[in-house]
Amino acid sequence: MPTMLESAGFVNVRRIHRNLPVAQLIEIAVQRGEGQLAANGALNTITAPKTGRSPNDKYVVEEPSTKDRIWWDKNRRLSPERFDTLLNKARAYLQDKDVFVFDGYAGADPENRIAVRVISEKAWHSLFAQTLFLRPTQQQLEVHTPEYTVINVCGMEGIPSLDGLRSECFIVISFEKRMVLIGGTHYAGEIKKSIFTVMNYILPLKGILSMHCSSNIGRGGDTAVFFGLSGTGKTTLSADPNRRLIGDDEHGWSESGIFNVEGGCYAKTIKLSKEGEPQIWNAIRYGSVLENVVLNDRREPLFDSDSITENTRATYPVEFIDNCVIPGIGGHPRNIVFLTADAFGVLPPISKLTHEQAMYHFLLGYTSKVAGTETGITEPTATFSTCFAAPFLPLHPTVYADLLGKKLKKHNSNVWLVNTGWTGGPYGVGHRMKLQHTRAMLYYALSGLLDDLWYNPDPVFGLMVPQSCHEVPASLLLPRNTWQDKPAYDHKARELAAMFAKSFEQYSGMVNQEVAAAGPRI
Catalytic residue set: 53, 193, 212, 230, 234-235, 249, 313
Tell me how many degrees the CA angle 115-180-328 measures, rounded to the nearest 5: 35
Residue 156's nearest CA partner among 126, 206, 122 is 122
3-state secondary structure of 348: coil
Length of the chain (residues): 522
3-state secondary structure of 103: strand
Instruction: Quote the CA–CA distance of 387 and 366 in Å, as a whole number.
Output: 9
Neighbours of 384 (CB within 10 A): 16
| Helix %, strand %, coil % of the chain (to 5) | 30, 25, 45
What type of residue sits at position 311?
N
What region does 231 belong to: left with phi over 0, alpha with psi -120 to 50, or beta? Answer: left
What type of residue sits at position 34?
E
Instruction: Quote the CA–CA distance of 12 and 189 in Å, as a whole number.
Output: 28
- What is the secondary structure of 262-310 as a DSSP string? -SEEEEE-TT--TTT-HHHHHH-STT-EEES--B-TT--B-TT--SS-S
3-state secondary structure of 355: helix
Element at 387 (helix H, strand E)? none
Tell me how many degrees the CA angle 132-70-194 measures, rounded to the nearest 5: 15
Half-sphere exposure of 84 (CA within 13 A, CB side): 6
Omega within 30 of 0 (cis) for the link into 49: yes
